[in-house]
Amino acid sequence: MCRNIKTLYNFDPPTTNEEVHAASVQFVRKISGFAKPSNINHQPFDNAVEEVARVVANLLDSLATSAPPRNRETEAAKAKARAIARFG
């Protein structure tokens, strides 16, 4: 499950709120052990996702680097090449 959490910092174009939310959902799923929470746990699960997303957005906004922004297509091609090398 955690393999789906991707690096979100220093990309051109910048990371979207949807990407931050998707990573937050994956993180909370991993921590809680729930792929889909029960009705009784749905609200705490959603609250945790929103709080994690808020913290991640604040983190990404406060980071600074002198490195040039990474290109999404180039990074995706590198990941695909690693997957091919790993899994054949």
DSSP 8-state code for residue 28:
H
Query: How many CB atoms are closer than 10 A to CB 10?
Result: 15
> Higher confidence at residue 1 or residue 51?
51
- Does the pLDDT of residue 1 top 50, yes or no? no
Could you tell me the residue range of the domain that residue 70 belongs to? 2-87
Q: Is this structure's pTM higher than 0.85?
A: no
Q: Give 66: exposed, middle or buried? Use CB within 10 Å, 0-12, 13-18, 19+.
A: exposed
Three-state DSSP state, 70: strand
- How far apart, in whole angstroms, are the C-alpha atoms of residue 2 and residue 4? 5
Q: How many domains does the chain have?
A: 1
pLDDT tens for each residue of 71-83? 988 988 998 999 9
